[in-house]
Amino acid sequence: MVCFLSHQAATKSIKALLYSIGLRPFSHSLKDLVKEIEKNKDKININIPLEFATELDKHYIPTRYPDVFVSGIPHEYYSKKNANDCLKWSKKILGLTQKFLKDIIKN
């Protein structure tokens, strides 16, 4: 659950950034959303590590469907380390987006 919710939180925060400059992204891929930020560097001066986005993307589908693995349930394939890593990446993305959005509000 931590891996899935970490992906969701990062996605929502990046979408908030893109909304703040007038874009309306529909993707659930963090990698694609980060690339959209990179295309708009003139409006969004923020560097979200693409590595964090791609790592979190790996957990979007497998964490949601009980039959995604040949045997067993997703819970059996995830460890505390997976959860901690996802949480770390998500917190980093949230911190970067929060700082950017706070700066917009101040100005």
Q: What is the pLDDT of residues 31-81, one digit of tens each?
A: 999 999 999 999 998 999 999 999 999 999 888 888 888 888 888 889 999
Among 19-23, 24-28, 34-38, 63-67, which stretch is predicted with the lowest mean pLDDT? 63-67
φ, ψ of residue 65 to 5 degrees: the values are -120, 125
Q: How many other C-beta atoms can be found within 10 angstroms of the C-beta atom of residue 9?
A: 18
What domains are defined for the chain? 2-102 (1.20.120.330)
Closest CA relative to residue 2, chosen from 92, 55, 80, 95: 80
How buried is 60 (Cβ within 10 angstroms: 0-12 exposed, 13-18 middle, 19+ buried)?
middle
pTM assigned to the model: 0.90
